[in-house]
Amino acid sequence: MRKDISFKGVFTALITPFTKKDLLDEDMLQQIIETQIESGVSGLVPCGTTGESPTLSHDEHDRVIALTVKYAAGRVPVIAGTGSNATSEAVRLSRHAQDAGADAVLLVNPYYNKPTQKGLFMHFRDIADNVDIPCILYNIQGRTGVNVETSTMQALSKACPNIVGVKEASGSLAQMKAVIEATHGAFHVLSGDDNLCLDLIEMGGDGVISVGSNMCPAYISKMVALALSGDMPGARAMEANLSAFFKACFLETNPIPIKTAMARYGWCQESFRLPMCTFENEENRAKLYAELDKLDALGALTRRV
């Protein structure tokens, strides 16, 4: 576990590569992680939405986190996805991540059971009380059916010293700004949407947990570094080349497009765990490929083949 962890920059929401036989592809995971680190990302996020965590067994989930920590070898922070809609399960996953050497945990809103704000507060507080490493909340109402209100985040930041930030995927810049203001800049706010990253940084945010950086780690890292250094015109110029790709990454449910893109360039098999599947609409595949071709011509992609 790193002692100098920073929550600024680009943190790649890693895909989970599977073999043709639907097994965890550990060799490819190592290659992906090595390339991400060499490309200059600020950190790695295994077992999030993009990593197909809902379809990983508990053993696989633990294994992916342990392997990511091993392969990262302390060179960048590892923020392990350990959230669940059962508090006891999230505690177990988070303790395992801490024991495996993860630098922080990412805790998604409890999904399906739609807790109240009181229930959300108690859920996150209980997890934080059971680990010593930093906790990052993951607020994504579109997938979980519940929003962590700003007042709840503010209360958690005061009650739990190791709850230090949030991945905001609400899609609401107004809410992100409110969180920054309510916590007086002491709470790290990372965008959960690539296309809102620069807007968030302009408001005082810290960066992004990125889907797109699976394919463009160096390019997106440079863009965000420019923004954080105050060179917003330079960052916006780079963003203009990425905006259509960011949209293409959500032509169908994440991680279908980004994993399809990774497979095209040899980073994984085009293999998903049901109920996730390959593209439903082949026109969407064509649109994705068209945007990849543009980025490839710019030299923005990290190629394996």
pLDDT above 80 for 2: no
Tell me if 137 sits within 8 A of 166, measured CB to CB.
Answer: yes
pLDDT digits (tens, 9 = 90+) for 144-199: 999 999 999 999 999 999 999 999 998 889 999 999 999 887 899 999 999 999 99
Q: Which of 175, 185, 237, 235 is nearest to 206 (CA)?
A: 185
Structure tokens given for 148: 């962590």
Q: Which of the four pLDDT bands, split at 50, 70 and 90, describes residue 238? A: very high
Average pLDDT value for residue range 259-278: 96
Rounded alpha-carbon distances, angstroms, from residue 250 to 16, 273, 295: 17, 18, 17
pLDDT of residue 305: 59
- 112 is a catalytic site residue: no
pLDDT of residue 150: 95
Superfamily designation of domain 9-229 = Aldolase class I (3.20.20.70)
Rounded Cα gap, residues 43 and 272, in angstroms: 24
Q: Which of the four pLDDT bands, split at 50, 70 and 90, describes residue 3? A: low
Q: Which of 21, 111, 167, 294 is catalytic?
A: 167
Q: Which of 20, 70, 71, 138 is catalytic?
A: 138
Average pLDDT value for residue range 13-19: 97
Q: Which of 265, 267, 305 is nearest to 29 (CA)?
A: 267
For the chain, what is the mean pLDDT?
96
Structure tokens given for 71: 């392969």
- 289 is a catalytic site residue: no
**Domain residue limits, the chain:** 9-229
Q: Which of the four pLDDT bands, split at 50, 70 and 90, describes residue 111? A: very high
Rounded Cα gap, residues 5 and 9, in angstroms: 12
Q: What 8-state DSSP symbol labels residue 34?
A: H
Rounded Cα gap, residues 39 and 217, in angstroms: 6
pTM of the model: 0.96
